[in-house]
Amino acid sequence: MARLEGKVAIITGAAQGMGASHARLFIAEGAKVVLTDLNEEKGTALATELGENALFVKQNVTSVEDWATVVAKAEEKFGSVSVLVNNAGITMAKSILETSLEDYRRIVDINQISVFLGMKTVIPSMQKAGGGSIVNVSSINGIVGGAIGYTDTKFAVRGMTKAAAMECSHYGIRVNSVHPGVIATPMVVQEDTKAAVEEFSKHIPLKRVAQPEEVSNLVLYLSSDESSYSTGSEFIVDGGLTAM
């Protein structure tokens, strides 16, 4: 039996990179998947590629109204939601002196507020489903320090995950966070950063960056019933970086 058979999942930031990888694996494992993103062209193309068990919905993850629309369309098309993967996010590599209040609020809205809104909006649907699993994608910068703004929000996701896990346990809803290290996504492996990423990879204990599928396998585990006794925890996939 497929590992996600009978489950309805929402994956944000699913048009490319890790989100697209998660969506492909979820479909292969039997889930019905709602993919959301601001990139309508790539998101629609991916949903078409994945077939009848995939639906793309254009979404601004910082919008209360958009979140309500996504959940409503998921329930209308597939039924009550049983899995939420809060994957959407952005990076920012400015110093604290270079970071404006507008910069800071933007990254907080996209990386942190969106996770709160996603959980708040999806939990009632999961209650109707009889339970579920929420996977919040943080970063190793939710474990150790990094750039201002980005690190702050990723630590916040880690904390929200624990608070929500405690609150939702009696609903049969599990909440966990995933903390990727350096992953070979379009956001990371660009022409102007490729050489720097390759050089940095020499300092990773496993001597390479991860492929998106390696993160997807962990997200799949946490979304499936195989992780039925895991909640409120952080799961690191970083090639050993945070062990140094």
Tell me which residues are annotated as active site.
150
For β-strands 32-37 and 173-180, DSSP reports them as unpaired
Token representation of residue 88:
């959407």
**CB–CB of 92/107 below 8 Å?**
yes
Radius of gyration of the CA atoms of the chain, in A? 17
Q: What's the CA gap between 31 and 209, in Å, rounded?
A: 28
Q: What's the CA gap between 43 and 70, in Å, rounded?
A: 14
Beta strand residue intervals within the chain, DSSP E: 8-12, 32-37, 54-58, 83-86, 132-137, 173-180, 234-237
**CB–CB of 224/84 below 8 Å?**
no
Q: What's the CA gap between 10 and 26, in Å, rounded?
A: 10
Q: Name, in order, each residue with C-beta under 8 angstroms of 147's C-beta and a sequence gap of 6 or more.
A: 91, 92, 93, 94, 141
Q: What's the CA gap between 186 and 39, in Å, rounded?
A: 14
Q: What's the CA gap between 84 and 124, in Å, rounded?
A: 12
Q: Name, in order, each residue with C-beta under 8 angstroms of 45's C-beta and a sequence gap of 6 or more.
A: none
